[in-house]
A = this chain, B = another copy of it.
Amino acid sequence: MNMEQVWIGGEWRGARASSSFVAKNPATTLDLSGEYPVSTWTDCDAALDAAVDAAHQLQKASGEQLAAFLEGYAHAAESNAEEIIAMANAETGLPVTPRLRTVELPRMTTQLRQAAAAAREGSWQQVVIDTKNNIRSHFAAIGPVVIFGPNNFPFAFNGVSGGDFAAAIASGCPVIAKAHPLHPGTSRLLARCAETALRDSGLPAATVQMLYNVANEDGLRLVSDPRIAASSFTGSRSAGLRLKAAADSVGNLMYLEMSSLNPIVLLPGAVSQRGESLVAELADSCLAASGQFCTSPNLLLAVAGETTERLAAGLAETLAARPSGTIFSETGLQDLHRSVQWLVDSGACVATGAGFAEGEGWRYKNTLLRVSASDFLASSDSLQREAFGNATMLVTATDIAQLAEVIKSLEGNLTGSIYSSFSDSDDVYLSVASALRSKVGRLMNDKMPTGVALSPAMNHGGPFPSTSHPGFTAVGIPRSLLRFGALHCYDAVREDRLPPALRDKASIAAMWRTIDGNCVQG
């Protein structure tokens, strides 16, 4: 078997590898074809040097050129969709329909095109011009970026094709993608599409580079290398915190999207009024992709009582009746079980599931745990451990005040939802919402968190430890580009030496700029 090549400095070339790995099909647990290298530091070092050169050349690239590349990439991926989808299906076990073909690939290409539009239009730069003092500033490319994609979205969050990738490229930064080792073949096919588009764009050859895998210590070395300006990582808390510590220690930026329980507050009126439909909504959301979403609801909060008991029983029954979904890897399956056991050891009771499921592939029983709010408050830290997968936990409080106490004990989360009805008074809503607001990035009403719309108003971010900075979002173009922007100010710089976006006359008619306090277009 020939080892697959890495993509460095514009060339596909043999890796300087320390070892190799294969991908497995989670639905069968069988090995897939293809041997992929674990790169040594030699590969990383070469990619870093090439990225520095590319970053320098990219200073001269126009938004139009970046846009053309991103659009060409989207088009190339669509042209090769069936091959890419088949590979992703084999590597992740995610269904072709309704997921990979109908939802995730279109999400990926939409993101690439939205990023293209943002690069072309330029408003993301937040140009501010003070004509009286002749001081001008905007956000510009921060420099070389390393992106670590997660296991759970082989297209839309892939380091070589996803939202972080699109944002970094659109802001003018070269990207070194570290593919996720659970879907190397998908990443390879996507990178080949990127290569085609890159060749047509006239951008530097090392604008995009990809390694399949590196040793953990080389990952830490990558994000803390002085040639890197910023890195982004979506994945587990333990890995994220190690990367953060490495980057922080040298002042490199590290954007993380880590664990999140995504609490759902079910106010009494909502439970009484529409318990049955809530059961169905909750089951759908908790089991989407077997619960392997960053925004999967891992924590349900309700006030104890008869209707809540009915909802709990209904949810347990529904979860038990639904097919147990597939977990991406054996490691993921073991981690899920360990986390469920941890929660049980910390005081949660099993309402259903909490064990390995039968059938082909890596499967876990759909799981509902339960705990009282007083027990939760007594072991709040332990009971906030994320069980990544098809497991959720219902916390029942004696009253709204105790429910608010539970919320106040929570760490930072990406999302928080509040279900209410007209019988839940405004006061009740407000006491819960004001406690929840500072704990989450996105607050919802009567809505499950697993849908993350590609909207400029979206926030897919939140307070630590859900991310590393609550002022940035990973989804929502153009705002997501700002993670990869440095604020560049020009003070008394001559007009012809200014970047085109900062000159008196706008270079792009559609661009919004703030000039002397007024927001003007063109």
Which residues of chain A have a CB within 8 Å of any CB of chain B? 55-56, 59, 128-130, 133, 135-137, 139, 142-143, 229, 244-245, 248-253, 429-430, 433-434, 437-438, 441-447, 453, 455-459, 461, 463-465, 468-473, 476, 479, 482-483, 485-494, 497, 512, 514, 517, 519, 521
In the complex, what residue of chain B is closest to A140 when comparing beta carbons?
Answer: B437
Contact B252 A437 (CB under 8 A): no
List chain B residues, Cβ under 8 A from A441: 486-489
Contact B489 A429 (CB under 8 A): no
Contact B249 A490 (CB under 8 A): no
In the complex, what residue of chain B is closest to A482 when comparing beta carbons?
Answer: B471
Contact A488 B512 (CB under 8 A): no
Within the assembled complex, what's the spacing in Å between the Cα atoms of A46 and B222?
A: 42
List chain B residues, Cβ under 8 A from A142: 470-471
Rank and list the top 4 A-B pairs by shortest CB-CB distance, nearest first. A251-B464, A459-B489, A470-B486, A519-B519
Give the distance to chain B from A483, nearest Cβ to Cβ, in Å.
8
Within the assembled complex, what's the spacing in Å between the Cα atoms of A479 and B438?
A: 21
Within the assembled complex, what's the spacing in Å between the Cα atoms of A346 and B455?
A: 54
Give the distance to chain B from A418, nearest Cβ to Cβ, in Å.
9
Select the residue from A129, A135, A461 with max chain B CB neighbours within 10 A.
A135
In the complex, what residue of chain B is closest to A493 when comparing beta carbons?
Answer: B445
**A253-B469, A459-B489 given; 8 more Cβ-contact pairs under 8 Å:** A130-B453, A130-B456, A133-B455, A137-B457, A429-B497, A441-B489, A458-B489, A471-B483
Within the assembled complex, what's the spacing in Å between the Cα atoms of A103 and B491?
A: 20
Which of B128, B133, B487 is A470 in contact with, Cβ under 8 Å?
Answer: B487
List chain B residues, Cβ under 8 A from A514: 456, 512
Q: How many copies does the complex hold?
A: 2
Contact A135 B485 (CB under 8 A): no
In the complex, what residue of chain B is closest to A479 when comparing beta carbons?
Answer: B128
In the complex, what residue of chain B is closest to A252 when comparing beta carbons?
Answer: B464
Contact B133 A447 (CB under 8 A): no
Contact B488 A459 (CB under 8 A): yes
13 CB < 8 A contacts A-B: A55-B438, A128-B479, A245-B248, A245-B249, A250-B464, A441-B489, A444-B493, A445-B492, A445-B493, A456-B514, A459-B488, A463-B486, A470-B487
List chain B residues, Cβ under 8 A from A250: 464
List chain B residues, Cβ under 8 A from A143: 438
Contact A433 B497 (CB under 8 A): yes
Report if A458-B137 is in contact (Cβ < 8 Å); known contacts: A251-B465, A469-B253, A472-B487: yes
Within the assembled complex, what's the spacing in Å between the Cα atoms of A179 and B434?
A: 32
Contact B487 A445 (CB under 8 A): no
Contact B128 A457 (CB under 8 A): yes
Contact A442 B512 (CB under 8 A): no
List chain B residues, Cβ under 8 A from A128: 456-457, 479
List chain B residues, Cβ under 8 A from A487: 441, 459, 461, 470-473, 479
Contact B457 A130 (CB under 8 A): yes
Which of B249, B433, B468, B488 is A443 in contact with, Cβ under 8 Å?
Answer: B488
Contact A59 B245 (CB under 8 A): no
In the complex, what residue of chain B is closest to A483 when comparing beta carbons?
Answer: B471
Within the assembled complex, what's the spacing in Å between the Cα atoms of A437 and B473?
A: 26
Within the assembled complex, what's the spacing in Å between the Cα atoms of A457 and B132?
A: 11
List chain B residues, Cβ under 8 A from A248: 244-245, 248
List chain B residues, Cβ under 8 A from A430: 497
Contact A453 B493 (CB under 8 A): no
Within the assembled complex, what's the spacing in Å between the Cα atoms of A434 and B499?
A: 11
Contact B464 A136 (CB under 8 A): no
Give the distance to chain B from A371, nearest Cβ to Cβ, in Å.
22
Give the distance to chain B from A258, nearest Cβ to Cβ, in Å.
10
Report if A135-B469 is in contact (Cβ < 8 Å); known contacts: A143-B438, A244-B248, A437-B488: no
Contact B447 A492 (CB under 8 A): yes
In the complex, what residue of chain B is closest to A136 when comparing beta carbons?
Answer: B457
List chain B residues, Cβ under 8 A from A488: 437, 441, 443, 459
Within the assembled complex, what's the spacing in Å between the Cα atoms of A513 and B128?
A: 15
Report if A471-B486 is in contact (Cβ < 8 Å); known contacts: A245-B249, A455-B130: yes
List chain B residues, Cβ under 8 A from A245: 248-249
Report if A446-B519 is in contact (Cβ < 8 Å); known contacts: A130-B457, A438-B143, A487-B459: no
Select the residue from A429, A485, A519 with max chain B CB neighbours within 10 A.
A519
In the complex, what residue of chain B is closest to A254 when comparing beta carbons?
Answer: B248
Give the distance to chain B from A58, nearest Cβ to Cβ, in Å.
11
Which of B455, B463, B492, B517 is A135 in contact with, Cβ under 8 Å?
Answer: B455
In the complex, what residue of chain B is closest to A490 when comparing beta carbons?
Answer: B443
